[in-house]
Amino acid sequence: MKKTVIKGIIPPVVTPMNEDESINLDVLREQIERQIEGGVHALFAFGTNGEGYILSENEKYEVLEAMIDQTKGRVPVYAGSGCISTKDTIRVSKKAQELGADILSIITPSFAVASQKELYDHYVAVAKEVDIPIVLYNIPARTGNKLLPETVAKLAKDVDLIIGAKDSSGDWDNLKAYIDLTRDIGKDFYVLSGNDSLILKGLQAGGAGGIAGCANVYPHVLSSIYDLFIEGKLEEAQKAQDSIASFRAVFKYGNPNTVVKKAVKLLGYNVGDCRRPFNYLSDEGIKELKKVLEENKNAGMN
């Protein structure tokens, strides 16, 4: 198994699109450079903020190839290879490994309700077919399936390749249970917050960092939460953590993915809109977003 350290701030990089909704790989490469210059610790291809849910399989491979080529080993590259079926997840995971991904992030199956046994069996089956680390991905509000802490702990103990979990439930007790139940399992296991407001709290409890959509907008700020924590500068880390609250408050006006991508566009980057139909933000939302971006710019956030 490839040895890769899981740590820090990992942006699920937005997938830039042209007006016809085709992928703009040139702008993707620009965003990759912007993120690395911003100090991020890894990159995540076609995560939720990268619109992985709406990209075709071939488009995912194009994005991953470009990201791996542009990154050139400077930071690890994660690939979101989870699909609804086990068969499809295995195929996409094997292709991601073949293309050179460092880590697989595998979201739970969606739409149909799965038992914890079915989820366990799904991940075990995928792990048998690949040879790179796997990070479990729990986002029940989007998939309809919750990966319980006990199931995460059992998978962590039973499957060598499963070395981490991302919790995007937004439920602090669930994130903490992921950390607590995998603390003493006889191997390193890394828990990542998928909710940007819980990154520092997770680190303080023993977590490894966060897969942070807001890093698409503020890579320096988000990266500094982890870096300052590691340096023991907790007050400064808390200040950085608190500074993204006003931006996250804009999420009430629409889909967070849409808000994030529109924010990146308003900052002057030609990333386009989210693929339809998930691209609408009300006039009120746009007005508030512009206001927050200006306030944060004046505060030196980037």
Residue 119 lies in a domain: yes
Q: Which of 137, 190, 253, 269 is catalytic?
A: 137
Asked if 207 contacts 179 with a C-beta cutoff of 8 angstroms, the reply is yes
| Confidence band of 3 (pLDDT split at 50, 70, 90) | confident
Residue 118 lies in a domain: yes
Sheet containing 134-138, strands listed edge to edge, beginning at the edge strand earlier in sequence: 8-10, 209-211, 190-193, 162-167, 134-138, 103-107, 77-80, 43-45
pLDDT of residue 5: 81
Q: Where is 132: in which H helix or E strand?
A: none
Residue 270 lies in a domain: no
pLDDT digits (tens, 9 = 90+) for 104-137: 999 999 999 999 999 999 999 999 999 999 999 9
Residue 282 lies in a domain: no
Closest C-alpha among 135, 175, 172 to residue 155 = 135
Its pTM stands at 0.95
| Confidence band of 219 (pLDDT split at 50, 70, 90) | very high
Rounded Cα gap, residues 231 and 111, in angstroms = 42
Beta bridge partners of residue 166, listed in sequence order: 137, 192
Residue 196 lies in a domain: yes
| Confidence band of 147 (pLDDT split at 50, 70, 90) | very high
Residue 181 lies in a domain: yes
For the chain, the maximum distance between any two Cα atoms, rounded to a whole number of angstroms, is: 53
Q: Which amino acid is at 108?
A: T
The torsion region of residue 139 among left (phi > 0), alpha (psi -120 to 50) and beta comes to beta
Query: Which residues, including other chains, have CB under 8 Å from residue 268's CB and lie 6 or more apart?
Result: none
pLDDT digits (tens, 9 = 90+) for 76-96: 999 999 999 999 999 999 999
Residue 264 lies in a domain: no
DSSP 299: T
Q: Which of 154, 166, 176, 262 is catalytic?
A: 166
**pLDDT at 2 > cutoff 70:** no
Rounded Cα gap, residues 194 and 185, in angstroms = 22
pLDDT digits (tens, 9 = 90+) for 229-258: 999 999 999 999 999 999 999 999 999 999
Query: What's the mean pLDDT in 19-48?
Result: 97
Residue 301 lies in a domain: no
pLDDT digits (tens, 9 = 90+) for 257-272: 999 999 999 999 999 9
Does residue 233 have an active-site annotation? no
| Confidence band of 14 (pLDDT split at 50, 70, 90) | very high
Residue listed under structure tokens 């590259």? 77
pLDDT of residue 266: 98
> 86 lies in which domain range?
8-233
**Which token pair is 175?**
């994130």
Task: Give percent of the chain with pLDDT exceeding 70.
Answer: 99
CATH code (residue 73):
3.20.20.70
Asked if 217 contacts 263 with a C-beta cutoff of 8 angstroms, the reply is yes
Query: Which residues, including other chains, have CB under 8 Å from residue 5's CB and lie 6 or more apart?
Result: 76
**Which token pair is 290?**
């512009």
Asked if 273 contacts 265 with a C-beta cutoff of 8 angstroms, the reply is yes
Beta bridge partners of residue 43, listed in sequence order: 77
Q: Where is 239: in which H helix or E strand?
A: helix 234-243
pLDDT of residue 261: 98
**pLDDT at 210 > cutoff 90:** yes
State how many domains the chain has. Answer: 1
Does residue 166 have an active-site annotation? yes
Mean pLDDT, all residues of the chain:
97
